[in-house]
Chains A and B, each alone.
Chain A
Amino acid sequence: MNAIEVNHITKGYGKVKALDDVTFSVTRGEVFGLIGPDGSGKTTMYRILCSLLLPEAGTAMVDGFDVVKQMTEIRKRVGYMPGKFSLYQDLTVQENLEFFATLFGTTIDEGYDSIKAIYSQIERFRDRKAGALSGGMKQKLALSCALVHQPSVLFLDEPTTGVDPVSRKELWEMLAGLKQRGITILASTPYLDEVRRCEHVAFLDCGRIRGIGTPEQILIEFADIFNPSGIEHAKTADRIDENVIEVEHLVKAFGSFHAVDDISFSVKRGEIFGFLGANGAGKTTAMRMLTGLSQPTSGTGKVAGYDIRTQHEQIKKHIGYMSQKFSLYEDMTVAENIRLFAGIYGMKKEEVRGKMEALLRQLRFEDHANDLVGSLPLGWKQKLAFSVSIFHEPAIVFLDEPTGGVDPATRRQFWELIYEAASRGITVFVTTHYMDEAEYCDRISIMVDGKISAMGNPEELKQRFHQPDMDHVFTYLAREAKRGD
């Protein structure tokens, strides 16, 4: 018997068709991938299967029960982790987990083994409020909460967005363990290595199923979308040997906890500097000090020639920043957002007009200049946010996980934009959890436990640690982390 049967499901919101005649089935005990770009209808599908939404047409059965008529039965049997799973920010890690465990009729102790791999990494923060955790750690806690019980069917809507590579591997090992116990798993992900770990995948695009098959079949059939060719990055030879970022013995402490623990490095003008590290290693904290958002506890630093301690407002004139959370104004149009931020940096009106046209052409946004930003798909928003952050031609741009949750094709376009900016002499300081992106950087540093444990260009690092690619280098270094114990 199939664990999930979906027959001709259709669902629309107003005029927009979110799902259009979708049919697929999942056998019991299978790990099934539901993949597709942002806005393809994945979340709607999950909600229908969880009996949270009513389909307009078609039927769906989960674990032998109809999602329309047998709501109570379904809800007893499924586990669901929504894409924007949000925890109770004002409860501590432990309290969150306890609550969800009890909610699903189990206890932390009972479910501990099945979440140990991930929960152990955040366990020592168990008395910290969930709101104070970093983005990736929140996601890990959310995962622990969702997996603490063992339903017969598990729905995971992009569970690994913002999670570092090591933890992603651990999560999928956990899922494999669940599968052994006969739990059916339906998951979606933008990471190709995760897609490959599914037994079957369905590719959903604009509400329609474009193909169902084994991961390899789908990835080959739709290679243009999932596996775009790599980008050639012409290394600029004539780089001026001038440091735009210089940091020495930088420390940021919250109470007795040293989020950033004595780091020193420098970044040269025009470089693309990859700032890697596991969740909670201190990347965002370090970046906030460099961008003048927070004061260092000790140590010195200069960004664009200004002191991060005393001249933070000067620094802000010469940098661009794109935060983890999407942060353009969603209730304003594309053009209005560009004009606002250009105006803030004191750009001239005529200059803005000309540049904006060029930018919209480059992004192929000409027809969308007057669309509300909130109505754009995630990938577009990210590209737009990046373009806005370098619109005033800053010396340095800081990007905090700019491509989280974005599909491969869009990520590629994003990196084209980054290269283009770098070629104009803008220094790029970027954090990411995609190791293929790490390879695109001129130089990278890997942070572990608040310290920089390795720095150099990707080739050097691979050689130094005798690993085939950056993914392995990262895993090798991050597994050394002591904070996870």
Chain B
Amino acid sequence: MKQFLSFVIKEARHILRDKRTMLILFVMPVVLMLIFGFAITNDVRNVRTVVVTSQMDPQTQAVINRLAASEYFTITTAVATPREAEQLIRSQKADMAVVFGQNFAARKSGVQFIVDGADPNMAQQWTNYATGIIAQSPQPIANSKLLYNPQMRSAYNFVPAIMGVLLMLVCAMMTSISIVREKEQGTMEVLLVSPVRPLMIIIAKVIPYLVLAFVILSTILFMARFVLDVPLQGSLLWIFVVSTIYILLALSLGLLISNIANSQLMALLLSAMVLLMPIVMLSGMLFPIESMPTILQWVSAIVPPRYYIAAMRKLMVMGVGITAVAREVTILSAMTLFLLAVSLKKFKTRLE
């Protein structure tokens, strides 16, 4: 027990001594939360709009005023021909142009939008918004109700995703590097030859990172609740239980990487390129899984954060009970058991 404790203390010291890494570990969640909570948004806002009209009659003016009055569009300038407008868009001075027909005032011709289609989603949204403003359609037939996130805040979507990625990063990357470093520096040899059982070495190595992961998890939840105003609808207990399963999974993954990698550089590249890339890309964090080709959807089925992020979105934001995430939790648990078993079995008690 004493050996075990001193092991844990030693490991904690390694973490605490590296001030820069520590700083990044704690600043990272905070900054990411702020960026995702405030800066990353798909809102239609400040769209630079050019007006193309040959004659400025009152009707046209009224429409322009309506556009300008909305918070979505900013009228930058007026030009005479669509050609000029296109020039402006091409050189990134404007995002869209509203072309009024020759006889707009006489209600004979309509309006055409020339939109910078580079970003398809935004292009469509701009058109939708502008159409809504210009057409001034009466009461809509369909009442839309946005469940769980009526203001469409992106933070609701991203907070669980940040949790998934950061916990994986901290647990898998840092554990694997810390084990590989001992191999590289030769201290592992001494540890192995000591009377301490290998299993204990592993557990002691993992515990400080477990604690670190919980601290980060709590920071994120705290920030989410009190800074970003993301309501924590579900039960905190279950959030922590599911997170623990996920953290264990990440730790076993780190252990597995440390078995494969021989140098810190390799462990870093393995965790950064082979682990992090798929996690960010295929977990549904930024890009919805159902928009991917089927084959990639299959690949994403073995990416653990996919299930964690899905479960957290439901538990935290939608506030459903544990039964609604039973499938995700089962898959996560099975993955954890599998990875844990493999990594413990693969842990080398000898050199090669």
Contacts and interface: CB of A to CB of B under 8 A. Distances in A.
B303 to A, nearest CB: 34
Interface string A220-253: 0000000000000000000000000000000000
A75 B349 CA distance: 11
Nearest to A107: B2
B54 interface: no
Contacts of A88: 10, 14, 187
B185 A86 contact: yes
Nearest to A99: B10
Contacts of A76: 195
A212 interface: no
A47 interface: yes
B2 A102 contact: yes
Interface string B265-277: 0000000000000
B186 A103 contact: no
Interface string B1-23: 01100110110011001100000
B84 interface: no
B interface, by DSSP: helix, strand, loop or mixed? Answer: helix
Contacts of B17: 90-91, 129
A61 to B, nearest CB: 16
A53 B187 contact: no
A91 B13 contact: yes
B6 A71 contact: no
Given A90-B14, A91-B10, A52 B185 contact: no
B189 A80 contact: yes
A91 to B, nearest CB: 6
Interface in B304-352: 349-352
A82 B189 contact: yes
A352 to B, nearest CB: 32
Contact of A52 (B3, B18, B189): B189
A159 to B, nearest CB: 13
A102 B3 contact: yes
A81 B190 CA distance: 7
Nearest to B17: A90
B44 interface: no
Contacts of B196: 103
Interface in A48-65: 50-54
Given A86-B187, A90-B17, A78 B6 contact: no
Interface string A256-289: 0000000000000000000000000000000000
A75 B193 contact: yes
Given A90-B17, A91-B17, A102-B6, A75 B350 contact: no
A51 B350 contact: yes
Contacts of A51: 193, 350
B194 interface: yes
Contacts, number: 76
B202 interface: no
A306 interface: no
A78 B193 contact: yes
Contacts of B239: none
A80 B186 contact: no
A74 B15 CA distance: 32
B207 interface: no
A104 B351 contact: no
A53 B10 contact: no
B105 interface: no
Contact of A105 (B3, B185, B197): B3
Contact of B186 (A54, A72, A75, A82): A82
Nearest to B187: A86
A98 interface: yes
A85 B186 contact: yes
B194 A104 contact: yes
Contacts of B191: 103
A80 B349 CA distance: 15
Nearest to A157: B189
B352 to A, nearest CB: 8
A52 B10 contact: no
B123 to A, nearest CB: 50
Contacts of B189: 47, 50, 52, 80, 82
Nearest to A155: B193
B185 A75 contact: no
A53 B195 contact: no
B228 interface: no
A92 B109 CA distance: 82
Contacts of B349: 71
B351 A53 contact: yes
Contact of A103 (B3, B185, B351, B352): B3
A82 to B, nearest CB: 5
Nearest to A50: B193
Contacts of A393: none
A75 B192 contact: yes
A99 B6 contact: yes
Contacts of B6: 98-99, 102-103
B14 A105 contact: no
Contact of B195 (A47, A95, A105, A129): A105
A87 interface: yes
Q: Which of B3, B9, B186, B189 has the most CB of A within 10 A?
A: B189
Given A51-B350, A102-B3, A104-B194, 9 more contacts: A75-B193, A75-B195, A80-B189, A85-B190, A86-B186, A90-B18, A91-B10, A102-B2, A104-B195
Interface of A: 47, 50-54, 71-72, 75-76, 78-82, 84-91, 95, 98-100, 102-105, 129, 146
21 contacts: A47-B189, A53-B350, A53-B352, A71-B350, A75-B193, A75-B195, A78-B193, A80-B193, A81-B190, A82-B190, A85-B187, A86-B187, A88-B10, A88-B14, A88-B187, A99-B7, A99-B10, A100-B190, A103-B3, A103-B6, A104-B195
Interface of B: 2-3, 6-7, 9-10, 13-14, 17-18, 185-187, 189-197, 349-352
- The 3 tightest CB contacts between A and B, nearest first, are A102-B6, A86-B185, A90-B17
